[in-house]
Amino acid sequence: MFRKKFSAIVVFLIFSLAIGAQDMTENENGTPVDPPRPVSAMWSNGVYYEGKVVAEKEGQSLVKWADGSGEMWVANDKIKESVAGKRAPANARKVYAQWQNGYYYKGLVIETKDGMTLVQWETQGDPTWIENKHIHPRNGHKLAAKLIGDRELSAAEKKAEAKRKQASKQEDLIKYTASCAQLRTNLDCMRTYDPCTWRNNRCQYRGH
- Ordered by where they begin, the domains of the chain are 2-81 (2.30.30.140), 94-147 (2.30.30.140), 156-205 (no CATH)
Alpha-helix residue ranges (DSSP H) falling in the chain: 2-29, 155-181, 186-190
pLDDT tens digits along 108-154:
999 999 899 999 999 877 899 999 999 999 988 889 988 998 877 77
Residues facing 104 on adjacent strands: 98, 148
| Weakest-pLDDT range from 83-92, 148-157, 173-182 | 148-157
Which residues lie below 8 Å from residue 73, measured CB to CB, with a gap of 6+? 60, 61, 62, 63
pLDDT grade for 27, boundaries at 50, 70 and 90: low
**pLDDT for residue 45 is more than 50:** yes
Q: What share of the chain is helix, strand, coil (3-state, %, to 5)?
A: 35, 35, 30
pLDDT grade for 2, boundaries at 50, 70 and 90: very low
**pLDDT for residue 24 is more than 60:** no
